[in-house]
Amino acid sequence: MTTLKRVQFQTTPRWFSQAVIYFVLLVGGIAMVTPFIWMIATSLKPAAEVFLGKFLPDAPTLDNYLTVFRKVPFARWYLNSVIVASLVTLSVAFFDSLTGFVLAKYEFPGKNLIFVFILSTLMVPTEMLIIPWFILSNSLNWVDTYWGIMFPGVMTAFGAFLMKQFMEGLPSELLDAARIDGVSEFGLFWRIALPLVKPALAALCIFTFLGNWNAFLWPVIITERMDMRTVPVGLAFFSGEAGSAWELIMAGASMATIPVLIVFLFFQRQIIKGIALTGLKG
């Protein structure tokens, strides 16, 4: 009778596998953070130290930031970006969530057709819409205006789709009970549904704000005056005028990242939750 011998394989210790994971994450984190640190370090260098090959400045200075404000209307660019990004975010949060609520909780003729039409706009590249947008803006005198910069993004198909998916998860019985208590139809949306989908709404607002803060293609086309430029557009023109003055370019770029860092530091939980929700819900 043949005896079968069990061969025991030595498994990798758990601490070793965790150490490898943490090491890989550490290397990846350092690789992503290093360009940002280099940008800030360069912005603090005097012009004579920029091309010396040193990573950190020997004599840090804030003169580069002051020079940027003296050379260009950076404060006005900052204000323009804040106004555009904030108003577009508020508009998207309200109209997209309202659209999602209507499509999820009401029955009316053509609802599915409307939803399909909204989704179909996601397949149209932005570059194909630039010319119609500009013709419309030029005919209505929206060039060099805040509304001209904002109107393509005041409602988004992605936001309507995202909010619809989450609104569908709300129990209809809860809305019916609120109707019995005398809540209006808009009150159902504002007082009942909207507070229950705050994670999805927060994720939508964060993504919308960051997207509009970093937008470049449409703002560079619709703005002609220097005082109407947004931060990305202004930095692009300033970098061309500054030439090889990398300390000034890096100073402007460092200031442009401040709102992005603030949004991430204060809302990082919502960002992570939003990424998880958009991947799971559908």
**What does each of the 282 residues of the chain score in pLDDT, given as a tens digit?**
444 444 444 566 788 888 889 999 999 989 988 988 999 999 998 888 888 878 888 888 889 999 999 888 999 999 999 999 999 999 999 999 999 999 999 999 999 999 999 999 988 888 889 999 999 999 999 999 999 999 999 999 999 999 999 899 889 999 999 999 999 999 999 999 999 888 889 889 888 998 999 999 999 999 999 999 999 999 888 887 777 788 888 998 889 888 888 877 777 676 666 666 555 454
- How many other CB atoms are found less than 10 A from the CB of residue 127? 8
Q: What angle do CA 272, 278, 282 make, to 5 degrees?
A: 155
Q: Classify residue 226 by its DSSP letter.
A: G
Please tell me whether residues 41 and 128 are part of one structural domain: no
pTM: 0.83
Alpha-carbon distance 255 to 267, whole Å?
A: 19
pLDDT at 3: 47
Q: What is the pLDDT of residues 138-174, one digit of tens each?
A: 999 999 999 999 999 999 999 999 999 989 988 999 9
167 and 44 in one domain?
no
User: For the segment 96-142, what is each residue's pLDDT rounded down to a tens digit?
Assistant: 999 999 999 999 999 999 999 999 998 888 888 999 999 999 999 99
- 280: helix, coil or strand? helix
Q: How many domains does the chain have?
A: 2
In a domain, 187, yes or no: yes
Task: Give yes or no: residues 95 and 141 share one domain.
Answer: yes
Q: Is 7 domain-assigned?
A: no
4 assigned to some structural domain:
no
Examine the domain organization and report whether 144 and 72 are in the same domain: yes
DSSP 72-141: S-HHHHHHHHHHHHHHHHHHHHHHHHHHHHHHHH---TTHHHHHHHHHHGGGS-HHHHHHHHHHHHHHTT
User: Domain containing 146: what range?
Assistant: 63-280
Verify that 228 and 189 share a domain, yes or no.
yes
Is residue 210 domain-resident?
yes
